[in-house]
Structure 1
């Protein structure tokens, strides 16, 4: 399959339908990104009220997933899209599933923030959580930008950032274990912290998934499960000039 972008069709309504559903995805992504920011802020600041707001906000994320999914179904039924158009609809359907799951992870962090609001918080650990939260939020923003610009190279870059997220997550886990060993009285609420941190790590994974869907649409290649290095090679191969003899290697 060849690399594609958004093509113009003889039916202007078809173009409008595709653009509308893309805009809905970006709106859903913006909402999810704000959910992450609010959830992390609630956790770090011990703001139980804000945590409850995040939990309630997940209802809107779920509603948007249903709306976009129904719109994708209508496009498939009415337009019978082919080639790049079909890949776009499939990529959107998969993307909103991961966005909804990111929303679920943000809701989980909001719940943990509410539970932990009255507990003393180790400043160093929560500073690291704030940093991790900022990084995963940037991953979501960057992959949505790649989706908007149909930029497969940037989508792969998001996957590379997930390696740093994993390292930060492991460092926070080690620190939480140290706190629990030093003071067993902290075990109960430190376990809640670990659940919240794991949710942040999962958001990074879901962002990577969305990046793979961008590559699938733009490049026409399914790069799931092939590993980061292989994914980067696939993108580099697709960017070679058509006359480059090495492209057939």
Structure 2
């Protein structure tokens, strides 16, 4: 009996971590043989033990509220097929020219792996991205200086922001940790948010890469609203209603 309870609670945490946020109705549907009272007690226990965050009408993953970057190795293993799909879409839309900013993150690494070897300048704060881009002979790769964040293997800090202010970007390719209608595109790290805002201010065009599972996730910092971006690239599971809403606001969605 106790083993069944532990197993169920582990499954609840895994579901919430996978979705980012789960409504109580969805939880009831996922565990049809468990009473609502038992599920409410499970959420109360998991919240008290800091495994999830209880909210009105459901629960959220800790990842959606903690102001730190996930370890990079953890993010690389999540939704890898979707990230590869997004990277392939992005490559078809990118016309390498001038100066391009490439954000840090696991989806950006997938993009760097297949970035075309055509003459342009790429600026990045992602250390793994520079390693992937090193294979290219025609691309001039620039790495902004600053402080290394070990978990995400990205560069940040005052020096990074100062160097960004000296560059004009033809295209900024940005990653986000969530999107909510009415709240916009979100970021979990304040430092990363500041860097990407600075880049976007100096960019002619802004392209956001976001997998569909980040829709509905509300993170700590608001990075941008729909009018601040030009292109959104997601995977084939992106909600049609969200796509149409963004297109009505002038965003090209792929």
The structure that is helix-richer by fraction is: 1
Greater strand content: 2
Please say whether Structure 1 and Structure 2 have the same fold, judged by a TM-score greater than 0.5: no
So what's the TM-score if we normalise by structure 1? 0.30
